């Protein structure tokens, strides 16, 4: 399993924070962490900019109750052009309104901790994406790779690779902001941020799928997140559950190793204690 993160080009000063795959919840949960980033620039506490950030994040959560996507430009009365904040949110296309709102609310809550006092921030959970910044990014196509990961190689299997490539070709030709597809035990999903035009969305998805093929090769599953779209697939029949199995196996291996180490340490302690007592007895004689 490989995990890679790259800077967010829309904010050159962004840094990426990646949480270990062994510590976050299963990817089947909408609130599973994927990646996040924050601007290095900070705003002053109590400033108009802080009020605008709070307003836009509140608007994001409220809007998520009635829509899976919306964007905002907010400036409170009395603030300058430099204090304007732009933001958006988007939920995965298959989420209900209640799940969408819960996911966005959790994302905003995590952003408040991850990006405290940052002038810009972005957070991708499995089921939703939230971003804000002081420079407008709305409608701007951005094909920078921000996060990718590939599963273990399955070796050369022409039938499996043919099904995967056919499914990815179907997804690439969809012309939709959200699309799922499958072929045999292979399933996949693509999604664009809806501030893009249809043509820009198509271009972004084609780039994500092309990179997924080239970077993940014959991997059992793969994720490719660009700044404004993503593509994901799995050879197991349900891409959203692939990490759950991997994490269970990793957890079992980790526990087995820990138990083995504890057993060895206990044996060494008992053995040394026995030797010390024996030496003490000899010394007493």
Q: For each of the chain's 285 residues, which pLDDT tens digit applies?
A: 444 443 343 443 444 443 333 333 334 578 899 999 999 999 999 999 999 999 999 999 999 999 999 999 998 777 788 899 999 999 999 999 999 999 999 999 999 999 999 999 999 999 999 999 999 999 999 999 999 999 998 776 678 788 888 899 999 887 789 999 988 788 999 999 999 999 999 999 999 999 999 999 889 899 999 999 999 998 764 444 444 444 444 433 433 443 344 445 445 556 566 667 667 666 655
Q: What is the predicted pLDDT for the residue at 142?
A: 95
Domain ranges of the chain: 2-133, 145-237, 241-284
Fold match between 2-133 and 145-237? yes
Could you tell me if 149 and 4 are in contact, meaning their C-beta atoms sit under 8 angstroms apart? yes
CATH 3.40.640.10 fits 2-133, yes or no: no
CATH for 145-237 is 3.30.430.20
What is the average pLDDT value for the chain, to the nearest integer? 80
Residues 6+ apart with CB under 8 A from 54: none
pTM here is 0.74
Judged by phi (left if over 0) then psi (alpha if -120 to 50, else beta), residue 175 lies in left
User: What is the DSSP track for 93-154?
Assistant: TT--HHHHHHHHHHHHHHHHHHTTTBS-EEEEESSEEEEEESS--TT-----EEEEEE--B-
Report percent pLDDT > 90 for the chain.
58
């Amino acid at each position: 399993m490989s995990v890679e993160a790259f800077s967010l080009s829309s904010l050159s000063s962004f840094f990426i924070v990646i949480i270990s795959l062994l510590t976050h919840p299963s990817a089947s949960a909408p609130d599973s962490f994927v990646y996040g980033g924050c601007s290095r620039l900070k705003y002053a506490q109590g400033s108009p900019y802080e009020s605008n950030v709070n307003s836009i994040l509140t608007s994001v959560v409220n809007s998520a109750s009635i829509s899976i996507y919306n964007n905002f430009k907010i400036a409170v009365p009395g603030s300058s052009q430099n204090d304007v904040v732009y933001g958006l949110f988007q939920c995965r296309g298959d989420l209900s309104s209640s799940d969408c709102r819960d996911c966005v609310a959790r994302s905003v809550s995590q952003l408040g901790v991850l990006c405290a006092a940052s002038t810009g921030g972005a957070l991708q959970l499995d089921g939703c994406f939230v971003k804000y910044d002081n420079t407008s990014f709305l409608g701007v196509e951005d094909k920078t790779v921000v996060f990718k990961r590939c599963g273990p190689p399955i070796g050369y299997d022409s039938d499996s690779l043919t099904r995967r490539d056919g499914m990815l070709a179907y997804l690439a030709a969809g012309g939709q902001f959200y699309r799922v597809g499958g072929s045999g035990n292979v399933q996949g999903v693509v999604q664009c941020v809806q501030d893009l035009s249809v043509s820009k969305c198509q271009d972004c998805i084609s780039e994500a799928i092309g990179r997924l093929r080239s970077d993940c090769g014959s991997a059992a599953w793969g994720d490719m997140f660009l700044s404004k779209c993503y593509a994901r697939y799995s050879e197991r029949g349900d891409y959203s559950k692939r990490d759950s199995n991997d994490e269970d196996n990793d957890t079992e291996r980790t526990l087995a190793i820990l138990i083995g180490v504890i057993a060895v340490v206990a044996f060494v302690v008992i053995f040394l204690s026995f030797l010390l007592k024996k030496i003490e007895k000899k010394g007493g004689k």
